[in-house]
Amino acid sequence: MRTHFVGEVALDLARLESDLATCRSLEWTEAYSDYVFGGSWKSCMLWAPGGDAGDGVVTNYVYDRPAGFTAHAERLPYLAELIRETADLDRLNFARLALVTDSVIIPHRDLLELSDLPDETRNEHRMHIPLATNDNCFFNEDNVVYRMRRGEVWFLDASRIHSVAVLTAEPRIHLMLDFVDTPGAGSPARVAGGGVEVGIPADRIVTRPPLGDDERADLLGLAPLLSMDTFDEVFSIVIKKHFRRDGGPDFVWNTMLELAAKSPDQAVLPHTEELCKHYTLERSA
């Protein structure tokens, strides 16, 4: 299923704020923080196979146990109700809160590590509902940068290369739901609205000026500074540039590979190639 905007849920802001305040005191995991530069990517599991919050790593759940609400969800009555009303629970594998501040996420594909699971249990469709966000929060898929607004329901094609930038200290909190695929059963969202053909509406897309030649040269000028010690900082600069300028398809990984090839530190190129493969091509559980 291609990425598309579905519709909106009418949020009860008072009840939402109350649950968002409560959720901050729950236990969040830092699983997948290796995808992130700057801060962390924290998640809080509200629904999972077996009903245990677990460690947040989706390969560490027993998929043949029936899924259900976790103890966290019992503390968040409004969010539990929102999940019940918005999702087909029969097809729901996971519902998590995802919290990001002041961070960028490495362009990656999800689901790669789930390829060994049988089709009928594997996460296949991902829904996002932003609960706290602002204009400095961006999503990226392929070479499109866009914003999702609070209360909107989106399906994301997590098998395409995507990344995120939260260029603000204000917390961005999304409700993220993963569904199994059931061919022919219709949308797992209980929200009326646009089908796949709606895609990413034009008014959500952020128009980025093309990356100028001088800007590209400045970026490549980081090569002499790029070493294993500075790797994360340089990578983070390249990802941030991607959200402000259009450097063309695969800009982030291409730029990192080009920089790595010019780095005086011999370890950087194999490391970059290894990461590129891990995040975009193949990954074991």
Positions touching ligand YCP (CB under 6 A) are 32, 35, 41, 105, 110, 162, 164
> How near is the Cβ of 162 to ligand YCP at its closest, in Å?
6
CA nearest to 252, candidates 31, 5, 33, 35? 35
Choice from 9, 76, 110, 235 touching Co ion (CB under 5 A): 110
Given the complex with ligand YCP, which of 32 and 243 has the nearer CB atom? 32
Single out the segment in contact with Co ion by CB under 5 A; choices: 65-73, 87-95, 107-115, 233-241. Answer: 107-115
Given the complex with ligand YCP, which of 29 and 272 has the nearer CB atom? 29
Given the complex with Co ion, which of 47 and 139 has the nearer CB atom? 139
> How near is the Cβ of 98 to ligand YCP at its closest, in Å?
6
> How near is the Cβ of 157 to ligand YCP at its closest, in Å?
11
> How near is the Cβ of 35 to ligand YCP at its closest, in Å?
4
> How near is the Cβ of 198 to ligand YCP at its closest, in Å?
21
What is the footprint of Co ion within residues 33-92 (CB under 5 A)? Answer: none
Given the complex with Co ion, which of 110 and 124 has the nearer CB atom? 110
Q: Does 178 bind Co ion (CB under 5 A)?
A: no
Given the complex with ligand YCP, which of 19 and 178 has the nearer CB atom? 178
Given the complex with ligand YCP, which of 32 and 63 has the nearer CB atom? 32
Binding site for Co ion (CB under 5 A): 110
